[in-house]
Amino acid sequence: AAAMSVNADLRRERAAATFQPELLTHILDGGAERTRRRKEIEALVLNDPDFQHEDLNFLSRSQRYEQAIRKSSLMVMKLREYGIADPEEIYWFKSFVHRGRPEPLDLHLGMFLPTLLTQATPEQQDRFFMPAWNLEIVGTYAQTEMGHGTHLRGLETTATYDPSTQEFILNSPTVTSIKWWPGGLGKTSNHAIVLAQLYTQGECKGLHAFIVPIRQLGTHEPLPGITVGDIGPKFGYDEMDNGYLKMDNFRIPRENMLMKYAQVEPDGTYVKPVSDKLTYGTMVFIRSLIVGDSARSLSRACTIAIRYSAVRHQSELKPGEPEPQILDYQTQQYKLFPLLATAYAFHFVGAYIKDTYHRVSGDISTGDLSELPELHALTAGLKAFTSWTANAGIEECRMACGGHGYSRCSGIPDIYVTFTPSCTYEGENTVMMLQTARFLIKSYSQVTSGQQVTGMVSYLNELSRQRIQPQHVAARTVTMRINDPTSLVEAYKSRAARLVESAAKNLQAELNHRKSKEDAWNRTSVDLVRASEAHCHYVVVKLFTAKLAEVSDAAVHAVLTNLCLLYALFGISRNAGDFLQAGILTSAQISQVNQHVKELLAVIRPNAVALVDSFDFHDVHLGSVLGRYDGNVYENMFEWAKKSPLNKTQVHESFHKHLKPMQAKL
Amino acid sequence: SVNPDLASERQTASFCVEKLTALLDGGTEQTRIRRAVVEAIESDPVFSRENQYFQTQNERYEAAVKKAVHLQKKMHEMGWTENGPEYKYIYRALSGDVAFLLHRVFMRSISVLGSDKQIAKWIPLATQHKLIGSYAQTELGHGTYLQGLETTAVFDAATQEFILNTPKISAMKWWPGDMGRSATHTVVFAQLYIHGKCYGIHPFIVQIRSLQDHSLCPGITAGDIGPKMNFEHIDNGYLLLKNVRIPKENMLSKFCEVRPDGTYVRQGSQQINYFTMTTVRISLISDEVLTPLMKACTIAIRYSAVRRQSKLKPGEQEAKILDYQTQQEKLLPQLAAAYAFHFVNDYLQELFNRGYGEIQRKNFDMLPELHALSSGFKAVITQHCTAGVEICLRACGGHGYSLLSGLPSLYTKIIASCIYEGENTILLLQTARFLIKCFMAANAGQPVPPSVTYLAAVKHGKCPAKNKLDFLSPDIYTEAYQHVAVRLTSSTAAKLQDLIQSGVKKHDAWNQCTVQLVQAAKAHCHYIAVKNFAETVEKLETKAGIQKIMKHLCDLFALHGIFSNTGAFLHDGYISAAQMDMVTASYLDLLAVIRKDAVPLVDAFDFTDKSLNSALGSYDGQVYQRLYEWAQKSPTNQMSPAYERYLKPLLHNTLSKL
């Protein structure tokens, strides 16, 4: 089946594209040189026989874990062999090896080692870093407990200092305090960085991090006082041993508390850290990665659904003619093209957030923390906004593939189950949206008290200017130019302003009624989430529009402009109520928007396949029979199915065990 | 013992839970029978689902076959029959976790499509399980669009046989349940050819496996199609036919017959085929769609009453997450939808029973309406409930992602319902076709079926609500829904006509309007659902607080629909901007009201712990202990060979190579 030529439909699609996909790929990668290097690393992995294995869909969970740990250990060796050290290049290598899936060493590499670097004293680094670097110590990061996730202050694990032996005594005092979910904790790690409430001299000093050995070096058996294991099967993450950890009077030396900032002296005296804002940095960084991950996961799903829709023929559009490609149906385009536009939008947002993070962390290292609050608010909101949208979008792509999308061979079920936890981890999305809302409300009250605000919320400044006029805040219909993205940015800006203001006013009204601030906040939280969503939506439209100015190739510019327009107009169409209610757009304008969305679908249609080709996912990475580059879908579905575990024997053993005896009896 | 956080929720119920359960079941006697069936099934260890989340595809399949076989014995023992009152509860009690579901479809298709002689021959064999049947319609290349099927059945007058073939890869049968490993026979749908002429799709009984040793018959290639998102217990299969000959008598011939000389004769009405599809679409709503949503609501709401997180008031205990407005806004509308669609299902059942009576009197007048409603509601309900289950899953945070929560399996199962028995977008377009036709007819003064008479009475008023309480009046919101449904249908009809008059070909015009047509069909169904809920509430007895709580849920269902689709209601100014603020205020107020009864409202669904099979959703609310206990049973906690094979070398030997 390997030597088949490209399906004629896909060949035609590619020939009809109006732009060169490679040029767009370069933009996504951040330059032609980056693309070249990415492909070089991709080839290193794909041509390496050590990284080949059976289709994971046919393996049990234990087997998948085994494969993952096998590949991870090879990966660590080979990264060093090839001298790959740049974080982004490591990321590429890793995602090709594991094909976009999680792996058991994720937390060792992504959390354990970095936390040692940032929070350990030089003495601690000497003791732990090299053994960890050489994988003698394999660690994880144990924060989440059974009873508490995003709300960190509620964590219940305790670390009580005993000055007589100069040790900390770690305990899991309740069932809910059992550490639960940390990746690599169940079976892989022999150490964990444990977050616990520190008690010294009879006082609770809040959460601190401790290095805790959990398994015996050599035998890998759990240490006395430690109960550790796998939390069982999940929706996805089969290759990851998410674990539990229960500690009973488990003692560790004083020197195992990470003491670069806060310290406990031998006599038990607690020394406070200088600033607690610095811990923001890591969170901001990981959340910014999720924005990029939203873009990539949605892009993969779009690639599969759009290629398949170009290959699948069904029913009739015109009487007497052959069955058309399902991509020619308006309803199919309406499902897929806005998602395609969204995937591009999120790519650009992800790149922006990454750059901003690097810029701001540069400032932080020189002591300038001024931009941190806004960046924190923005990444929290965009993490939630993009992951929610991508989560729903991946499922829409799968549904657009009909029954075959439901088969694991489509690859989309795996993309979905791997991606969907990002709505929860690193900050539950609703909580994230409310954090952004807190920043928005704060900015709003600064504006109303006469101050100017800067950055992405500066549109709030206009509210005070408008207030001089007697009419409703945003109740001036904008003269919208439907083909001009900058004009649409203005519409989104007005919507965000209006929803922030309305949430702020509702909050004030609640405060006037009730005594408690918390109650008022809770009773306004649905409005507050809406305001944050509108703010994030505005930011995405704005960033996509800004990106257009950087594109020099005329053909690519044209196709990206259409995607940007589709993204913005579809968003207006879907949220028409907000624009109507605030008087930003009239019904006639909304009808015009609805109509233009449909016209854009037809405009984008000839470039749809080229636009997903530009994402440049290798077939191995895509892991989908429906989304193959060559479009030979049906033949390969058959080949794939033959390998199913139920097909191992011609007659299944159930026949002899159950069916035959029944037939004999009846 | 029951977690005090759940116990306290139950003490303050504003209505009698047992009465509501009886209402949902359709009477106390029904409740009694259902509970007896559930008890009988759950107390039998063969039917246990205890280790389900740890099983492989092979193990799940084997367990399902074992259960199907054991069920025959059980039914005999208990004196349950296929026509008895207990029968419909068996599937629910098993949570659908049983094989040979297609065997029943096989039997039904023979009963409906077969001649008397064929029924007399095959039904007894099937009833006694001398054979196991399947139903092979869908192919690799075609699903909902049946005319496109490519399997062929060529009549050979010389031998009085049909020769069946799979002429190309896309013609391979793909997806039929029970066909991959279990079935010995299947009803194959194929294009009938006689003397070179094609007569369209017809059903044929084909034996695929030996009745002696279960090996494949000559000319047959069949197997399992591989792992899916769910339904691991079902061997969905593929089937390739190569010059398979079957006797002429194996074509199901109630409506069509091939004479020995090859003459093709059509008898009776083909319309009845529509009726079969309608039957299936309506019958799946209850077990396959409503039950998962009700279970998901039960799990998520009970868990939200047990899970405490962060503080609402300084100095107090952490708050139940159910007390957060954002959590209520996720979960309570799903609960309202579960009730709303339960009553829609009652409405459809009643309509269906009436239609069935008419058809038996050879009156097919109700068919188009029944077809349109069953298609539209199948799409709307499956889509809505699927989204609802996913919301419940995500509302449980990290623990929802564990299989032990029960939610992932509910989700991956219900989601298949959006595609099987007709892909939803196509079904909505069928409903839209009916709407447009009726709209034209109504405007031309012709009579139209009862569910669409409202299309004729286009009113141009504005919503009369003056304050937020007015939006708790069913007349006010039902009319708003009606207005939107009429507006979307009439504007799409107008656009279609404009396009056609401007010279666009009819089918092109249709394709250009499909996005709008889908919206119109959804608006129509949503309107009927709201109207039906309001009318149902009206008729309920006022005793025991039932009517009052149902009225709240009805209001919530209606206002949530407006709140989440404001554009449609604001569009022509039917609801003004100021009125929309009233809708929002009323809607948010309702959340706090229904919050108080949230746990009793899910208790009323009356699912046993075994049937929920969820560490988060049990009646006693002992969430964390159960999660911990269940996790320890996971096979991954046996010492994994991965340590010896890979981890150990990683931790020791490989260091030298680094």
Residue A152 phi/psi, 5-degree rounding, is -65, -35
Residue from A580, A585, A586, A666 whose CB has the most chain B CBs within 10 Å, to mutate: A580
Q: Which residues of chain B have pLDDT under 70?
A: 268-270, 273, 458, 639-641, 653-658
Residue B168 has a CB neighbour count (10 Å cut-off) of 13
> Can you tell me the distance from the alpha carbon of A5 to that of A174, in angstroms, rounded to the nearest whole number?
62
Residue A320 has a CB neighbour count (10 Å cut-off) of 5
Would strands A203-213 and B256-258 be described as parallel, antiparallel, or unpaired? unpaired
Residue from A235, A241, A387 whose CB has the most chain B CBs within 10 Å, to mutate: A235
What residues of A are annotated to the active site? 426
Q: In this structure, what token pair is assigned to residue A54?
A: 């059976």
What sign does the dihedral B12-B13-B16-B18 (CA atoms) show? negative
In tens, the pLDDT along B252-302 reads 998 889 999 999 998 766 677 677 778 889 989 999 999 999 999 999 999
pLDDT at A225: 97
Neighbouring residues of B139: CB distance < 8 A, sequence distance ≥ 6: B149, B150, B151, B170, B171, B172, B173, B174
Judged by CB atoms closer than 8 Å, whether chains meet at A646 and B628 is answered as no
Q: Compute and round to an integer the Cα radius of gyration of chain A.
A: 27
Name residue B529's amino acid. A
pLDDT at B273: 67
What residues of B are annotated to the active site? 421
pLDDT at A473: 45
Nearest one of A395, A270, A292 to A339, comparing CA atoms: A395
pLDDT at B460: 75
- Secondary structure, 3-state, A65-79: HHHHHHHHHHHHHHH
Q: Which residues of A touch B132 (CB under 8 A)?
A: 659
Residue A215 phi/psi, 5-degree rounding, is -125, 150
Per the DSSP assignment, residues forming a β-bridge with A194 are A142, A210
> Can you tell me the distance from the alpha carbon of B647 to that of B592, in angstroms, rounded to the nearest whole number?
53
Cβ-contact A252, A245 below 8 angstroms: no
Terminal alpha carbon distance of chain A: 45
Closest chain B CA to residue A328: B511
- Secondary structure, 3-state, B131-181: CCEEEECCECCCCCCHHHCCCEEEEECCCCEEEEECCCHHHCEECCCCCCC
Binding-face residues of B in 239-298 toward A, CB within 8 A: none
Write down the CATH number for the domain with range A137-273: 2.40.110.10
Q: Which residues of A touch B624 (CB under 8 A)?
A: 146-147, 175-176, 178
Give how far Cα A335 sits from Cα of A368, A607, B549, B561, Å. 45, 16, 38, 21
In tens, the pLDDT along A474-530 reads 455 557 899 999 999 999 999 999 999 999 999 999 999 877 899 999 999 999 999
Nearest one of B559, B541, B555 to B20, comparing CA atoms: B541
pLDDT at B640: 66
Nearest one of A352, A373, A338, A309 to A633, comparing CA atoms: A309
Q: Compute and round to an integer the Cα radius of gyration of chain B.
A: 27
Provide ipTM, 2 decimals: 0.94
Cβ-contact A138, A108 below 8 angstroms: yes
Cβ-contact B627, A176 below 8 angstroms: no
Q: Which residues of chain A have pLDDT under 70?
A: 1-4, 275-280, 464-478, 663-666
The DSSP-derived string for B344-381 is HHHHHHHHHHHHHHHHHTT--TTHHHHHHHHHHHHHHH
Give how far Cα B239 sits from Cα of A89, A617, A646, B550, Å. 46, 33, 15, 49
Name residue B441's amino acid. A
Predicted TM-score (pTM) of this structure: 0.95
Binding-face residues of B in 548-567 toward A, CB within 8 A: 565-567
Residue A236 burial (C-beta neighbours within 10 Å; 0-12, 13-18, 19+): buried
Closest chain A CA to residue B125: A666
> Can you tell me the distance from the alpha carbon of B319 to that of B26, in angstroms, rounded to the nearest whole number?
37
B177 annotated ligand-binding residue: yes
Binding-face residues of B in 215-234 toward A, CB within 8 A: 215-216, 223-229
Give how far Cα A640 sits from Cα of A55, A406, A538, A645, B352, Å. 9, 15, 44, 11, 42
The three-state secondary structure class of A273 is coil
Buried b (16+ CB within 10 A) or exposed e, A323-351: bbbbbbbbbbbbbbbbbbbbbbbbbbbbb
Q: Give rounded-to-5 percent helix, strand, coil for chain A.
A: 60, 10, 30
Sheet holding A243-247, edge to edge: A179-180, A243-247, A226-230
CATH fold of A282-452+486-613 reads: Butyryl-CoA Dehydrogenase, subunit A; domain 3 (1.20.140)
Nearest one of B473, B479, B476, B478 to B458, comparing CA atoms: B479
Neighbouring residues of B507: CB distance < 8 A, sequence distance ≥ 6: A316, A317, A318, A319
CATH 1.20.140.10 fits B427-449+465-596, yes or no: yes
Buried b (16+ CB within 10 A) or exposed e, B347-383: bbeebbeebeeebeeeebebbbbbbbbbbbbbbbbbb
Give how far Cα A77 sits from Cα of A3, A128, A138, B643, Å. 33, 19, 15, 18
**Residue A459 DSSP symbol:** G
Name residue A566's amino acid. L
> Can you tell me the distance from the alpha carbon of A345 to that of A350, in angstroms, rounded to the nearest whole number?
9
Terminal alpha carbon distance of chain B: 55
Which of B398, B581, B658 minimises the CB distance to A149? B398
Q: In this structure, what token pair is assigned to residue A115?
A: 């936390």
In chain B, where are the structural domains located?
131-267, 427-449+465-596
pLDDT at A285: 84
Closest chain B CA to residue A245: B628
Which residues of chain A does CATH 1.20.140.10 include? 282-452+486-613
The DSSP-derived string for B593-632 is HHHTTHHHHHHTT---HHHH--SSS-TT--HHHHHHHHHH
Residue A264 has a CB neighbour count (10 Å cut-off) of 22
Residue from B235, B401, B580 whose CB has the most chain A CBs within 10 Å, to mutate: B401
> Can you tell me the distance from the alpha carbon of A351 to that of A218, in angstroms, rounded to the nearest whole number?
43
Would strands A167-171 and A179-180 be described as parallel, antiparallel, or unpaired? unpaired
Name residue A66's amino acid. E
Neighbouring residues of A3: CB distance < 8 A, sequence distance ≥ 6: none
Based on DSSP, count helices (H) and strands (E) in chain A, helices before strands.
26, 11
> Can you tell me the distance from the alpha carbon of A575 to that of A498, in angstroms, rounded to the nearest whole number?
14
Name residue B331's amino acid. L
Cβ-contact B222, B240 below 8 angstroms: yes
Q: Which residues of B touch A136 (CB under 8 A)?
A: 651, 655
Judged by CB atoms closer than 8 Å, whether chains meet at B418 and A399 is answered as yes
The three-state secondary structure class of A219 is coil
Nearest one of A574, A599, A379 to A495, comparing CA atoms: A574
Which of A187, A314, A522 minimises the CB distance to B145? A314
Q: In this structure, what token pair is assigned to residue B472?
A: 């708790």
Which residues of chain A does CATH 2.40.110.10 include? 137-273
Q: Which residues of B touch A529 (CB under 8 A)?
A: 326
Give how far Cα B510 sits from Cα of A326, A358, A597, B518, B599, Å. 15, 51, 17, 11, 47
CATH fold of B131-267 reads: Butyryl-CoA Dehydrogenase, subunit A; domain 2 (2.40.110)
Q: Which stretches of A467-548 are DSSP H helices? A: 485-513, 517-523, 525-548
> Can you tell me the distance from the alpha carbon of A561 to that of A544, in angstroms, rounded to the nearest whole number?
9
